[in-house]
C-alpha cells in the first residue's frame, strides 16, 4: 500500500491544488450567489469522487483485470476476447484502444506540467516577487524527475510512499480544522445543491463540469498502474487513506470559501494557516513530482503493451526490479516525454492556461473504458443484461457529459491534447498499415517451406551446429536463410525457424510457451508464445525447448536475422506520406537482436532490400 501510494496516487492526490478553485471560478459571472457556487461545486466534486472514481474505477473496472494487468489496452484486449462479438464490434474495440492509448499519452505529457507548476505557483501566493521563478524551478524539477526514471518505480515508490502519506495526512488535517469552523459545508453531500445549480444557471453549471473533472484526473492511472502493485493495495489505499483525506480537504477548502469567498483564486491555501504556507508549498511540490511519476509509470506500462501487440515500433524496455516484473523503464519514451513537457511549460508558462487543455484527454479515456468494461461485465462476468445496460449507460452518460463540457475548452487550449492524440493515432495507424503491407510483400516473394525442404539436401553442404532463423512466418523460408545459402552455400546440421507470437493476455503459462514441430532433414519450427506484458527472450525460450523434444546447445547456436532496407515501390498500396513515415518508423525501431535478447557475439545479420 505504501509503495502504491508513492507511485499511483500522486495524480489524483494533487487535484485539490486546482480542482475546487477551477470549478468555483468557472461559475463566476453566471449570476450565482457565492454560497450557492461553493456548495454546488463541492457537491459535484463529492459525487464525482464517489461515482466515477470509487464506484466505477476502484470497485468495478479494477475487477476487469487482464491477468492482473490494467489500462486501456489491457481492458480492450480483455473485451476483445468476449464471446459472441461481431467482427464490427471487435473492430470498434480495436479502434477505441488506439484512440484511448493516444489520449492517455496526451494526458501523460500534460499532467507533469500542470501539477508541478500548480505547486510551484504557491510561491507567488506568499510573495509576488517570486513569480518569475515559477517556470525555471518547474523545469528544473521536471527534468530531475525524468533523469530519475531509470532507477525504477519500486525505488521511487519506497522513497515517495512516506511523502504521499504525509501529504494526505496534511490534506485531511488542515481540511478537518477548517471544516470544524464551518460544519454547514457538510450539507453539500446532498446532490440537491448540484441540481439547484443546473436549475438556476444550467449553462454555467454545465461549463463547470469541465472543471469538476479535474478532481478525478488520475483515476485512469489507478487502473493503468494496477500491474505494478496489484488490485487490493490500490483499493485499500484509496478507500482508507486517499479518499477520506481528499474529501476532508475539499470540504475544508469549501468551508474557508464560505468564510472568505474572495479567496477562490487561492482556494487550496485558503484553509491553511499562515505558519504552514511555506511547508505546504514544499510538500505540494513533492506531491506534484509524485503525481507526475504516477502518469509516467502508467505511460511506460501502456507503451510496453502497445509494442508487444504490434501497435508501435519495437523499443528498448528495461526491467528495473528483480522481483516485480511490472516495473519497467522505456528510455526512448522517457526522452520524448521530457521534451514534450518542457515545451508545454515554456509555451503556456502558468497552470491557469494549462487548465483549459487538461481534462479532455482523461474524459475521452473514461468513455472508452466504460464501453469496454460494460462488454466484459455482460459477456464474461455474466451480469444480467438489463442491469449491466442501465448501470454502464448511466456511467457512460456522466462520462459523456464531462467530455462534452471539456470540449468547450478546445479553443482555449483543449486542442493541445487532441492534436497530440491525433499525431499518435496517425503514427500507430501508419505502423499497423505499413506492417501489414510489408509482411504481405515478404510473403508474396517468399519460397514455400515445403517446396524448399524437398530440395534441401540437393547439392547443399551441411555443417555442424545449430542455425536459428527468426521469421514472422514459419510456412515460408526466411529471407536470411536463403541469403545465407546463396552466399555461403551451406546449411547447418540443424535449422530452427522461430516465430514469436504475442497473445492478447499479459502473461503466458510456461507449459503454453512453446510449440515445436519436427519437419525432417534437421529442420524444426518453433512458435514462441508471449503475453503483451512480457519481453520476449528467444534464447531462454529455446533453452526450454528441451522439454518439448528439441535439445539445443543454445550458447553455441548462430542466430540469423534479416536487416531489411525499405524503399518505396513504384505502385505502393500506401500513400506517399504514409510510405515515408512507415519507412522512418521502421528505420528507428529497435534491432530484433536487442529486442529479443539475442547474444551479440552469436548474431549474423543478412541484408536485403524490399520495395513496399
The confidence score (pLDDT) of residue 368 equals 92
For residue 109, give the C-alpha cell.
505529457
> Mean pLDDT over all residues of the chain?
87
With a cut of 60, say whether residue 128 has pLDDT above it. Answer: yes
> How many Å apart are CA 138 and CA 123, to the nearest integer?
12
The single residue listed with the C-alpha cell 515517495 is 160
* Range scoring the smallest mean pLDDT among 49-58, 265-274, 302-311, 519-528: 302-311
| Confidence (pTM) | 0.81
Q: What is the pLDDT of residue 349?
A: 82
Lowest mean pLDDT among 151-160, 233-242, 422-431, 455-464: 151-160
Under a CB-based contact definition with an 8 Å cutoff, are residues 82 and 380 in contact? yes
- Residue 49 has a pLDDT of 95
Q: How far apart are CA 297 and CA 387, in angstroms?
A: 35
Torsion angle of C-alpha atoms 206, 210, 214, 218, degrees rounded to 10: 110
Ordered by where they begin, the domains of the chain are 2-408 (1.20.1740.10), 447-611 (no CATH)
Residue 52: pLDDT band with limits 50, 70, 90: very high
Average pLDDT over residues 95-112: 85
Per-residue confidence at 277, pLDDT binned at 50, 70, 90?
confident
pLDDT at 434: 92
* 492 φ, ψ (degrees, to nearest 5): -70, 160
Mapping DSSP to helix (H, G, I), strand (E, B) and coil, where does residue 564 land? Answer: strand
Strand order in 558-567's β-sheet? 514-520, 523-530, 490-502, 461-470, 558-567, 603-611
Inform me whether the pLDDT recorded for 149 exceeds 60. yes
pLDDT winner (highest mean) among 110-114, 231-235, 296-300: 231-235
Distances, alpha carbon 222 to alpha carbons 20, 74, 283, 554, 586, in Å? 21, 13, 22, 41, 33
At 156 the pLDDT is: 61
> Which of 152 and 239 is assigned the larger pLDDT?
239
- Widest Cα–Cα separation across the chain: 95
The DSSP secondary-structure symbol of 275 reads G
For residue 528, give the C-alpha cell: 514462441
pLDDT at 389: 94
Q: Residue length, the chain?
A: 612
Q: 282-328, pLDDT tens digit by residue?
A: 898 888 888 787 778 778 878 888 888 888 898 888 876 655 555 67
> Does the structure show a pLDDT above 60 at 587?
yes
Does residue 154 register a pLDDT over 60? no
89-99 average pLDDT score? 89
User: Of the ranges 175-184, 352-361, 514-523, which one carries the lowest mean pLDDT score?
Assistant: 352-361
Helix axes 360-379, 385-407, angle to 10 degrees: 170
Which of 31-35, 132-136, 400-404 has the weakest average pLDDT?
A: 31-35
**pLDDT-derived band of residue 217, with 50, 70 and 90 as boundaries?**
confident
CB atoms within 10 A of CB 392: 22
Residue 153: per-residue pLDDT: 56
Identify the band that residue 166 occupies on the pLDDT scale cut at 50, 70 and 90.
very high
> What percent of the chain stands above pLDDT 70?
96
* Residue 69, pLDDT above cutoff 90: no
Query: Kind and range of the H or E element at 592?
Result: helix 592-595
- Check whether 231 has a pLDDT greater than 60: yes
The pLDDT assigned to 250 comes to 96
Task: Report DSSP state, residue 54.
Answer: I
pLDDT digits (tens, 9 = 90+) for 468-510: 999 888 888 898 898 888 888 888 999 999 999 988 787 888 8
The predicted model gives 540-544 an average pLDDT of 89
Task: Give the DSSP letter string of 492-518.
Answer: EEEEEEEEEEE-SSS---GGGSEEEEE
C-alpha cell belonging to residue 499: 516465430
Contacts of 392 (CB under 8 A, 6+ apart): 370, 371, 373, 374, 377
Higher pLDDT: 461 or 154? It is 461
Determine the pLDDT at residue 169.
Answer: 95
**280 pLDDT more than 70:** yes
Work out the angle at residue 68's Cα, subtended by the Cα atoms of residues 67 and 69, and round it to the nearest 5 degrees: 95
Question: How distant, in Å, are the alpha carbons of 253, 349, 351, 513 from that of 118?
Answer: 16, 11, 6, 48
Task: Give the pLDDT of residue 586.
Answer: 92
Strands 603-611 and 558-567 come out as parallel
Amino acid at each position: 500500500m505504501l509503495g502504491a501510494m508513492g507511485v499511483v496516487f500522486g495524480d489524483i492526490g494533487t487535484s485539490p491544488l486546482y480542482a475546487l478553485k477551477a470549478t468555483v471560478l468557472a461559475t463566476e459571472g453566471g449570476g450565482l450567489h457565492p454560497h450557492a457556487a461553493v456548495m454546488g461545486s463541492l457537491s459535484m466534486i463529492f459525487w464525482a469522487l464517489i461515482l466515477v472514481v470509487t464506484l466505477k474505477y476502484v470497485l468495478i473496472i479494477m475487477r476487469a483485470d487482464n491477468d492482473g494487468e490494467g489500462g486501456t489496452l489491457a481492458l480492450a484486449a480483455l473485451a476483445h476476447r468476449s464471446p459472441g462479438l461481431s467482427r464490427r464490434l471487435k473492430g470498434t474495440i480495436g479502434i477505441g484502444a488506439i484512440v484511448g492509448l493516444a489520449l492517455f499519452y496526451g494526458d501523460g505529457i500534460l499532467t507533469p506540467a500542470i501539477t508541478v507548476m500548480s505547486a510551484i505557483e504557491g510561491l507567488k501566493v506568499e510573495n509576488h516577487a517570486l513569480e518569475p521563478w515559477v517556470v525555471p524551478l518547474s523545469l528544473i524539477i521536471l527534468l530531475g524527475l525524468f533523469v530519475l526514471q531509470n532507477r525504477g518505480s519500486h525505488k521511487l515508490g519506497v522513497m515517495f510512499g512516506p511523502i504521499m502519506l504525509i501529504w494526505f495526512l496534511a490534506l485531511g488535517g488542515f481540511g478537518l480544522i477548517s471544516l470544524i469552523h464551518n460544519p454547514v459545508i457538510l450539507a453539500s453531500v446532498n446532490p440537491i445543491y448540484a441540481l439547484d445549480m443546473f436549475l438556476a444557471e444550467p449553462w454555467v453549471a454545465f461549463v463547470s463540469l469541465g472543471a469538476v473533472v479535474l478532481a478525478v484526473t488520475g483515476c485512469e492511472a489507478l487502473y493503468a498502474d494496477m500491474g505494478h502493485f496489484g488490485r487490493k493495495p490500490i483499493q485499500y489505499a484509496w478507500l482508507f487513506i486517499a479518499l477520506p483525506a481528499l474529501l476532508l480537504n475539499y470540504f475544508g477548502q469549501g468551508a474557508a470559501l464560505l468564510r472568505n469567498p474572495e479567496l477562490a483564486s487561492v482556494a487550496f491555501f485558503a484553509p491553511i494557516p499562515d505558519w504552514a504556507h511555506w511547508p505546504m508549498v514544499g510538500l505540494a511540490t513533492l506531491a506534484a513530482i509524485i503525481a507526475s511519476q504516477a502518469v509516467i509509470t502508467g505511460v511506460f506500462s501502456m507503451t510496453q503493451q502497445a509494442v508487444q501487440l504490434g501497435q508501435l515500433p519495437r523499443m528498448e524496455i528495461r526491467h528495473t526490479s528483480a522481483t516485480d516484473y511490472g516495473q519497467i523503464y522505456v528510455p526512448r519514451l522517457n526522452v520524448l516525454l521530457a521534451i514534450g513537457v518542457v515545451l508545454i511549460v515554456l509555451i503556456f508558462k502558468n497552470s491557469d492556461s494549462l487548465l483549459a487543455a487538461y481534462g479532455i484527454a482523461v474524459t475521452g479515456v473514461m468513455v472508452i473504458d466504460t464501453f469496454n468494461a460494460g462488454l466484459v461485465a455482460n459477456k464474461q462476468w455474466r451480469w444480467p443484461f438489463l442491469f449491466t445496460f442501465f448501470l454502464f449507460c448511466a456511467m457512460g452518460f456522466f462520462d459523456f457529459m464531462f467530455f462534452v463540457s471539456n470540449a468547450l475548452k478546445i479553443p482555449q487550449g483543449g486542442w493541445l491534447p487532441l492534436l497530440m492524440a491525433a499525431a499518435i493515432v496517425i503514427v500507430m495507424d501508419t505502423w499497423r498499415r505499413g506492417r501489414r503491407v510489408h509482411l504481405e510483400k515478404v510473403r508474396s516473394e517468399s519460397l514455400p517451406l515445403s517446396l524448399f525442404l524437398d530440395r534441401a539436401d540437393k547439392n547443399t553442404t551441411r555443417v555442424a551446429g545449430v542455425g536459428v532463423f527468426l521469421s514472422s512466418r514459419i510456412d515460408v523460408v526466411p529471407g536470411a536463410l536463403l541469403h545465407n545459402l546463396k552466399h555461403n552455400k551451406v546449411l547447418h546440421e540443424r535449422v530452427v525457424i522461430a516465430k514469436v507470437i504475442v497473445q492478447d493476455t499479459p502473461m503466458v503459462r510456461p507449459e503454453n510457451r512453446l510449440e515445436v514441430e519436427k519437419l525432417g532433414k534437421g529442420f524444426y519450427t518453433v512458435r514462441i508464445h508471449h503475453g503483451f506484458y512480457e519481453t520476449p527472450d528467444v534464447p531462454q525460450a529455446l533453452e526450454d525447448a528441451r522439454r518439448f523434444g528439441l535439445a539445443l546447445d543454445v550458447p553455441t547456436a548462430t542466430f540469423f536475422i534479416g536487416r531489411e532496407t525499405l524503399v518505396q515501390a513504384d505502385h505502393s498500396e500506401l500513400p506517399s506520406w504514409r510510405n515515408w513515415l512507415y519507412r522512418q518508423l521502421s528505420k528507428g525501431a529497435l534491432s530484433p537482436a536487442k529486442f529479443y535478447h539475442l547474444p551479440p557475439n552469436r548474431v549474423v545479420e543478412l541484408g536485403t532490400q524490399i520495395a513496399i
